[in-house]
Chain A
Amino acid sequence: MPGVIAAFTGADLASEWAAPMPCAWPVTPDMKNPPHYPLATQRACYVGDGVAVVVAESPEQAIDALAGIVVDYEEEPAVTDLEDAAADRVLVHPDIGTNRAYTWELISDPDALKKAFDSAAHTVKERYIQQRLIPAAMEPRGVCVVPHPFGGDFTVYSATQIPHILKVMLGITCAVPETSLRVVAPAVGGGFGSKLNVYAEELLALALARKLRRPVRWVEERSEAALATIQGRGQIQEIELAADADGKITAVRVHLIADMGAYLQLVTPGIPLLGAFLYHGVYDVPVYGFSCTSVFTTKTPTDAYRGAGRPEATYAIERAIDALARKLEMDPAEIRRRNFIRPEKFPYSSAAGLVFDSGQYEMALDKSLELVGYDQLRQEQRRRRENGSARLLGIGLSSYVEMCGLAPSRVLASLNYSAGGWEAATVRVLPTGTVQVVTGTSPHGQGHVTSWSMLVADRLGVDPQNVEVLHSDTAVSPHGMDTYGSRSLSVGGTAVAMACDRVLDKARVIAAHQMEVAEEDLEVSAGTFSVRGTPEKSMTLQQVAFEAFTAHNLPDGTEPNLDGSITFDPPNFTFPFGTHVAVVEVDTETGKVDLVQYAALDDCGNQINPLIVEGQVHGGIAQGAAQALWEEAVYDDSGNLLTATLADYLVPSAAELPSFKTGATVTPSPTNILGVKGVGEAGTIASTPAVMNAVVDALSHLGVTQLDMPASPEKVWRALTNVGKEAGR
């Protein structure tokens, strides 16, 4: 066909792979991980599982050629329901004999857990569905692999969050020496976890560039993104709270069934574990039990999506505590106050085994209520109920804590994760005074260049305009663990700050030597070393850098050039927190929910750039509210994705959202020298339960308390109609 260069099936390319596609998180020793190759050979296990590849001169020619491929599928039954999957009625992968990938448990004291529930004054048991979500970064994925004309090297350009991890995994999977690979993540148009992966198309592009000895490019279409980019969430959650007569929670017990999809992608099995420690939320709960059974289904693999495990945990506990408040006829704010971990308890050792670094949860709640005008809203809510208004008001709270700053490498080891959680940084003061920063983090919209410049300018006393930040190219930044899990500032930024300190230490030695004074006699301010008591005797950092460059007069044992490098492995996670308040209007005649007000009070520790912090919160709120009200990856019983376009999958526009009120408290983290915690996921984690609690709050007096996401007009209307029918019986 015109323009077609080659076409291959999975079998044609079988010899290209030295290993199956990587899963870096075998959470249990007996976890089932069916081999997964870039193209299926015998069985395709979900709609989106590639079976053939066409290489052509243009995308149009490739599409024409695809139409010429006829695949003779022999259809097998789909497995789309999680409980059905867990029952092993139909197997997604008959070879492994079960749909259960693993069961993972975290139960601090089984006897105490049983006793807490047996002797509780009150218990609530809730069941929630975390629907599947499509990450929908505005830029779909894309990859281009350029083979060098000789020498066997490849440059891989990929719209990825993880150029460093990708390089290692491409090398292992395609049997290309790591030294022959350069991976570049150019300006990447959003990720939200969906580009924290090693994808079939990246491996195929490399293998085909090697086979065909020419550059190979692949750019995803939106409907392909829906089918073949990982999806998020996908859990059935059962959560039980035990409480004493005053509403003080004495134990939390959780069981999940988590949807892995058809295969395990890079960190698929670990996602439930990232939430596993946090189902007691911000509350001081002495006894804790968690278990998760993860199952294969004939759907797109799930993996990290903004918050990854923590939104699920926060949703469950925040909805359940509202259920407890309803049972006790207590205000949702009051029940939270009674249960918060008190500020004096930090560092707080949780029953789940974490050490929370710092927190002032009640202060955040108080300020959030003030920000939104809680008391007036409650009055307005009453007024509308009394007037019989068809537009009811609902006010929803969500107090959250997350674990960020992934991650202490030893903790990752204890969770069976296959890599570390450190981050690398180099800071160089060039002879002309420009400061060059090399970071192993890999931004895709978070503004690292701005924040890192500010941080370095502040620490070294230079103009931020004179700071150059290099990232996302393994040729200039050879070491890194990339960007996800709100880790970049607390791990990567801390590394940059520590590298700055090394630069200052070295500069001090050189400056003292040059000015013939003792190091202790030097003070540094605004990028200048001056002699204490003789301020006219001074050297700027730029002068020191030039002296370090010429190396004409350095103290014995001091190496030329002014630079510092460090690899920082965080001693603990960081624990950002806050309270969000959502206000919705529910039309009882149509079931339509409008999000009319939203207030967010977040504490991410010290802030480098408050504008960027707010921006992260805004975007997070929109994404989390979207799960509550609009978004759902819907599959039919045959496993076909029915929401594979942005016309069917309801990513909200500006018209569906209000402006947000934001506020902050600052409780520094003692875990790192910057006192920062991270903010990339907070908005998403907090907002989903806040919005759903608001919807339920609007309707609970009518008897509607069981409502799953998304709270679409149809679902709300049906819930109202059903309670109406029951009341009429």
Chain B
Amino acid sequence: MQVRMRVNGTEYVHEVEPRLLLVYYLREVVGLTGTNVGCDTSSCGACTVLLDGESVKSCTMLALQADGAEITTIEGLASPDGTLHPVQEAFRQNHALQCGYCTPGMVMAAVSLIREHPDLDEATVREGLEGNLCRCTGYHNIVKAVLAAASAMSAGVPA
């Protein structure tokens, strides 16, 4: 079946199998392998992307369900000149990643969380990232990074 979507600002049209999950569409058809797969039960959040600006687990929906949508993946977050998004920069500054496998999903979830909650506190960050698992960091520096990014963004660093 035909599916059409904008991914990171580029329009794609493909013929896909109806059972193809969005995450595999992004990784294997579009070729954007920044979005990872960490489980088969929508538990880990490694596959989180933005769908029309809101975070979704791309292993939980079919590519066909995203027909007509605007998708942002980790590859679409930095500026074209390579300047990192404030959340990416905060992750870098705060050592919020170790192996990096959960990072794309964690960053996308954080971007969405910050948009939804202009006044984030630690408890909100921890609850808000509940759907994204990390095995390396114990979340300590991730939480720190998200709070730092939120305050940088509210201080006017362009998102």
Contact = CB atoms under 8 A, between A and B. Distances in A.
Given A188-B99, A444-B99, A646-B44, A654 B136 contact: no
Nearest to B42: A647
B138 A651 contact: no
A444 B99 CA distance: 6
Contacts of B129: 653-655
B97 to A, nearest CB: 8
A615 B135 contact: no
Q: At the interface, is chain B mostly helix, strand, loop or mixed?
A: loop
A445 B138 contact: no
Contact of A618 (B17, B41, B137): B137
Task: Kindly name the residue among A190, A444, A654 whose own CB sees the greatest number of chain B CB atoms within 10 A.
Answer: A654
Contacts of B138: 618-623, 657, 660, 683
B55 interface: no
A192 interface: yes
B41 A659 contact: no
Contact of B39 (A192, A222, A619, A654): A222
Task: Kindly name the residue among B95, B99, B100, B126 whose own CB sees the greatest number of chain A CB atoms within 10 A.
Answer: B99
A70 interface: no
Interface in B42-64: 43-44, 46
Given A138-B38, A192-B135, A654-B129, A618 B141 contact: yes
B8 interface: no
A647 B98 contact: no
A222 B40 contact: yes
B73 interface: no
Interface in A587-630: 611-612, 614-616, 618-623
A645 B43 contact: yes
B133 A138 contact: yes
Contact of B130 (A189, A222, A618, A654): A654
A540 to B, nearest CB: 31
Contact of A189 (B39, B100, B137, B143): B100
A406 B100 CA distance: 26
Contacts, number: 121
Interface in B124-142: 125-127, 129-142
A646 B137 contact: no
Interface residues of A, number: 40
Q: At the interface, is chain A mostly helix, strand, loop or mixed?
A: loop
Contacts of A655: 126-127, 129-130
B72 interface: no
A190 B137 CA distance: 11
Task: Kindly name the residue among A140, A192, A655 whose own CB sees the greatest number of chain B CB atoms within 10 A.
Answer: A655
B139 A622 contact: yes
A445 B40 CA distance: 23
Contact of B43 (A188, A618, A646, A654): A646
A673 interface: no
Contacts of A223: 40
Question: Interface residues of B toward A: which range?
Answer: 35 or more
A657 B143 CA distance: 11
B94 to A, nearest CB: 9
Interface string B97-124: 0111110000000000000000000100
A108 interface: no
B39 A445 contact: no
Contact of B135 (A612, A647, A651, A683): A651
A598 to B, nearest CB: 9
Interface string A133-167: 00011111000000000000000000000000000
A251 B19 CA distance: 63
A189 B36 contact: yes
Given A139-B99, A189-B100, A611-B95, A653 B133 contact: yes
A614 B40 CA distance: 31
A221 interface: yes
A447 interface: yes
A375 interface: no
A60 interface: yes
A654 B129 CA distance: 6
B95 A187 contact: no
A222 B41 contact: yes
Contacts of B36: 138-139, 189
Contacts of A647: 41, 43
B40 to A, nearest CB: 5
A662 to B, nearest CB: 9
A653 B140 CA distance: 11
A674 to B, nearest CB: 21
Interface in A653-696: 653-655, 657, 659-660, 683
A436 interface: no
A223 B40 CA distance: 7
Contacts of A190: 98-99, 101, 135-136
A386 B81 CA distance: 63
Interface string B23-46: 000000000000010111101101
Contacts of B134: 138, 654
Contacts of B127: 655
B133 A646 contact: yes
Interface string A223-234: 100000000000
A445 to B, nearest CB: 3
B41 A653 contact: no
A140 B46 CA distance: 12
Contacts of A645: 39-41, 43
Interface string A102-138: 0000000000000000000000000000000000111
A138 B44 contact: yes
B139 A445 contact: no
A466 interface: no
12 contacts: A138-B134, A139-B99, A188-B99, A222-B39, A616-B98, A645-B40, A645-B41, A653-B129, A653-B139, A654-B139, A657-B138, A657-B139
* Shortest Cβ-Cβ A-B pairs, 9 listed: A445-B99, A189-B101, A622-B138, A646-B43, A618-B138, A445-B98, A654-B139, A222-B39, A190-B99
Given A138-B102, A222-B41, 15 more contacts: A138-B46, A138-B101, A138-B133, A139-B101, A190-B101, A222-B44, A445-B98, A447-B98, A614-B95, A616-B98, A618-B139, A619-B135, A646-B39, A653-B130, A654-B143
